[in-house]
Amino acid sequence: MYASIPAIAAVAAALFVQGTSAVAANPLPKPVDITWGTSGSFSVKSLSYDGPAHPVVQDGYNRATKKIWDLKWSPAATEAPPRSFEPFPTPTAKSRKAKRTTRHYGNLNSNSTLTKVKVTVADLKAPLQHEADESYTLDIGEGSEIIVITAQTIYGALHAFTTLKQIVINDGTGTLIVEQPVSIKDKPLYPVRGIMIDSGRNYLSVQKIKEQIDGMELSKLNFLHWHMVDSQSWGVEMNSYPDMTLDAYSDRETYSHECIKDIIAYAGARGIRVIPEIDMPGHASAGWKQIDTEMMSCIDSWWSNDVWPLHTAVEPNPGQLDILNNKTYEVTGKVYKEIAEIFPDNWFHIGGDELHMNCYNFSSLIATYFESGKTMGDLYQYWVDKAIPNFRAQANKTFIMWDDVVLSPDAAASGVVPKDIVIQAWNNGPENIFNLTRDGYRVIVSSSDFMYLDCGFGGWVGNDQRYVVQVNPNKTDGSPNFNYGAGGGSWCAPYKTWQRIYAYDFTLDLSAEQKALVQGAIAPLWSEQVDDTVISSKLWPRAAALAELLWSGNKDAAGNLRTTELTQRLLNFREYLVANGVMASPLMPKYCLQHPHECDLNLDQEALWVKPTPAA
């Protein structure tokens, strides 16, 4: 038998009472361990700082407290169980209607006043590098006047300030409060938690890049993967080869060393690493061809040839570095060295995706190489064996490469790819993650089926006959096709919703040893259809769902998926992002924000839980 709607609502209400304290503050990402008291609220009228005289800590504290006073944030969406609904199909049965009321939080008569934030940081000199300790505690004891924060490093302290901003709220009368005593012990599950921006396909202004960094700080993301250039444009000013920026979109759409350093400093002050990507040897045309066209291949070919088996690139415009031309290694070494010296991070992304054999048919050196019986895998191995030592000689960093170098069915390197290279897995979801970790590689998860934020917006290449269809050719059987129910030209459709991202179990079937090799995840936003006008709405708030997945996971203490619990937290956080100047997209009609769980597909709040199989 099916449970009645009132019975389901009763169960949901019971779960709410058991699992959630009666406070409006609902910080995102959810802390690993947060315990609210019950003795009553604290007023917050002014706060003094008692902590280390460290510029990053003090500036972070000042930014946080200024934002608390400036916003006087009142939660826009609060958690509550679903209301009761009249059972189908009785048309006259009465239901409990949700009433619009003025929201008040706390007890309106605070018994204590918070006056001080005491901050203790164990190591003020820890560098902002991979696996820096980001843990913190935040405690407000019953009757206390002090907010006590402890952290191992300044980055944990910054995260504590971020949490503090979300738990100091406007009680509805204009008074700032913390609703109850609270104890938080918090640290991230993964050291790499990030997004990828792409300024190669369309230019992104410094202001908009900083806006994304603001969103990252608010959601405790710590890794900005910056895909700086691509075959379409080269906007990075180079002292070694000044003519490369002749292939910028304009003189105004470039990045000087000074502005790059400004972005790095802005991010670093918020505990965020910035890792550049210079994609090589594929996706290479703009910039490189200004140095020497002899070290290039297929830059003047037609990218698709209108016959896909002859394509030289997956998108216009084509171009790859000639792997057998010695000039390639002189130039790439100098370019890498100059950019590596700008970025203080110990990691550097050298690309390595989507190499196409057809492109190399335009190189006489490589054509001869293939005629001798060598394969595309042999050619890629030649690049690995020669380029990696060359880069290390210029600046010895930890390299990141796309998973093509190990697992591409068409072009994977045929020999040994060093195990100290971190592999960014973007193909085949859990399968590639499993295979890479099985073979001993550290992995960053960026599975396109779950995390590509540019997917689902249709195709963008012009002069495309596939759209000239007036009648659904599959109308009879209803099966999807290009214009009716399928991708409409987006190769990675459908759109990746926040629920798709949050529910991703990317360590599925991994052993404990394999799980230890997963460093975290990055959600890429490729910019063929992205510039300043839409970048924030395409990244946010979906990236915040990833932030919680990577910080505290997506399951409760019983191992149940907590998507339904995240709903109101994320809807509130979207409003919070906008209030902080990050132009995040709405996820649902505002009605849903104001009526908890009335926009759920299932009234049963356990619908996503893994239910035990009944005994036979």
Got the DSSP string for 414-458? SSPPPTTSEEEE-SSHHHHHHHHHHTT--EEE--HHHH-TTTTS-
Q: What is the pLDDT of residue 230?
A: 98
Residue 425 Cα distances to 334, 356, 610, angstroms: 28, 19, 27
Q: What is the pLDDT of residue 91?
A: 52
Residue 157 confidence class, pLDDT cut points 50, 70, 90: very high
Joined together, the tokens standing for residue 187 give 């640290």
Residue 426 lies in a domain: yes
Residue 416 lies in a domain: yes
Q: Do 256 and 370 fall into the same domain?
A: yes
Q: Are 117 and 42 in contact (CB under 8 A)?
A: no
Is the previous residue joined to 29 through a cis bond, with omega within 30 degrees of 0? yes
Residue 90 lies in a domain: no
How many C-beta neighbours within 10 Å does residue 382 have?
Answer: 18
How far apart (Å, rounded) are the C-alpha atoms in residues 347 and 280? 16
* Stretch 177-189: mean pLDDT: 98
Residue 97 Cα distances to 22, 127, 579, angstroms: 21, 54, 30
Residue 211's CATH number: 3.20.20.80
* Stretch 145-169: mean pLDDT: 98
How many C-beta neighbours within 10 Å does residue 607 have?
Answer: 14
How far apart (Å, rounded) are the C-alpha atoms in residues 354 and 379? 14
Q: Do 148 and 199 fall into the same domain?
A: no
> pLDDT tens for residues 59-97?
999 999 999 999 999 999 999 999 999 888 755 545 445
Residue 56 lies in a domain: yes
**Average pLDDT of every residue of the chain:** 93
Q: Of 186, 219, 246, which residue constitutes the final position of a domain?
A: 186
Flag the least confident range among 352-361, 490-499, 607-616: 607-616
Q: Do 54 and 196 fall into the same domain?
A: no
Q: Of 554, 582, 605, which residue constitutes the final position of a domain?
A: 554
Q: Do 181 and 196 fall into the same domain?
A: no
- How many domains does the structure of the chain reveal? 2
Q: Do 237 and 171 fall into the same domain?
A: no
Q: Do 402 and 279 fall into the same domain?
A: yes
Q: Do 409 and 290 fall into the same domain?
A: yes
- Overall pTM > 0.75: yes
Q: Of 554, 575, 594, which residue constitutes the final position of a domain?
A: 554
Q: Do 384 and 272 fall into the same domain?
A: yes
Q: Do 315 and 374 fall into the same domain?
A: yes
Q: Which domain holds residue 53?
A: 33-81+108-186
Flag the least confident range among 431-440, 477-486, 495-504, 512-521: 477-486
Residue 180's CATH number: 3.30.379.10
Residue 265 lies in a domain: yes
Q: Is 323 helix (H, G, I), strand (E, B) or coil?
A: coil
Give catalytic residue positions.
354
Residue 111 confidence class, pLDDT cut points 50, 70, 90: confident
Rounded CA Rg of the chain:
26
Q: Do 169 and 216 fall into the same domain?
A: no
Q: What is the pLDDT of residue 186?
A: 98
Residue 484 lies in a domain: no
Residue 306 confidence class, pLDDT cut points 50, 70, 90: confident
Residue 363 lies in a domain: yes
Residue 537 lies in a domain: yes
Q: Do 508 and 535 fall into the same domain?
A: yes
Q: What is the pLDDT of residue 529?
A: 98
